[in-house]
Amino acid sequence: MAVRNRHQEQIGEYSIVSKTENHPLHSSDQEVWKRFVQGDELAFAHIYRLNVNLLVNFGRQFTNDHELVKDVIQDLFIRLRHPNTSQKVVKIKSFLFKCFYRDLIKRMDREKTFDDAFQQDSFAITMSPEHTLINQQLDCLKRHHLSESIEKLSVRQKQALLLFYYEDFSYKEIASILDMKSVKSARKLVYRAISKLRSVINPTFLKVISIILLIYPFGT
């Protein structure tokens, strides 16, 4: 059974194999960052390629203002390229997300970009089926129930689930990106979201439902 999808193409991953020795693609985040700080243009190109669209997409969940999102990303990269930059960076993606989130919120505050209608459906999640599925256990009905209960989550909870499952951040990284007091707060956020989905994902729940349907097939 293939639980892991080995050929999954993940934009945010750094483990892409390259044949050239000493190529940034070959190195860890810390090494890439070190080269970037030393002024290696190849390292910057690498960081830009892997992250710019992830940041655009993340930013556009907060606002419809595409130009503003682009502006904030541009300013962030310019700032990081400044010769005095000396931050220690362990994971580039979460470092960029953290800086970007902080900058974007500041700019939206200053330019008073607000949109109440938009806020409600920001960070919408879709449970899209995978293409490479071998045995589809998550049947249509369940997927439908799951989507329905996900819609009822708070924006913050949806945000946390996307950062955890889609962006592949750890609890520690989520806490740092979203400026939370402690790792515990990030954990709590995800836990609460999952317990709201529990009635749907709990297998016994569905079994009970199907037994009821078997006994009372016509709802009498």
Per-residue tokens: 207: 């079994």
* Nearer to another protein among residue 1 and residue 215 (C-beta): 1
Q: Which contacts (CB < 8 Å, 24+ apart) does range 42-47 have?
A: 44/81, 47/92, 47/96
In the complex, what is the shortest distance from the CB of residue 219 to another protein, in angstroms, rounded to a whole number?
26
In the complex, what is the shortest distance from the CB of residue 202 to another protein, in angstroms, rounded to a whole number?
7
In the complex, what is the shortest distance from the CB of residue 218 to another protein, in angstroms, rounded to a whole number?
29
In the complex, what is the shortest distance from the CB of residue 104 to another protein, in angstroms, rounded to a whole number?
13
Name the DSSP class of 220.
-
**What value does the CA radius of gyration of the chain take, rounded to a whole number of Å?**
21
Residue 25 and residue 74 in contact, taking contact as beta carbons nearer than 8 Å: no
Nearest to 125 by CA among 94, 97, 166: 166
* Nearer to another protein among residue 120 and residue 220 (C-beta): 120
* Nearer to another protein among residue 84 and residue 216 (C-beta): 84
Residue whose pair of structure tokens reads 């930013």 in the numeric block? 59
* Nearer to another protein among residue 67 and residue 216 (C-beta): 67
In the complex, what is the shortest distance from the CB of residue 88 to another protein, in angstroms, rounded to a whole number?
20
Per-residue tokens: 18: 């390259």
Residue 206 and residue 142 in contact, taking contact as beta carbons nearer than 8 Å: yes
Residue 163 and residue 177 in contact, taking contact as beta carbons nearer than 8 Å: yes
Nearest to 161 by CA among 178, 142, 144: 178
Per-residue tokens: 43: 């390292």
Binding residues for another protein (CB under 8 A): 1, 3-6, 8, 10, 13, 15, 45, 48, 52-53, 56-57, 60-61, 63-67, 70, 73-74, 77-78, 81-83, 111-115, 117-118, 123-130, 133, 135, 137-138, 143, 146, 161-162, 164-166, 168, 170-171, 187, 190-191, 194-195, 197-198, 201-203
In the complex, what is the shortest distance from the CB of residue 181 to another protein, in angstroms, rounded to a whole number?
19
* Nearer to another protein among residue 124 and residue 212 (C-beta): 124
* Nearer to another protein among residue 139 and residue 217 (C-beta): 139
C-alpha–C-alpha distance, residues 34 and 13, integer Å: 18
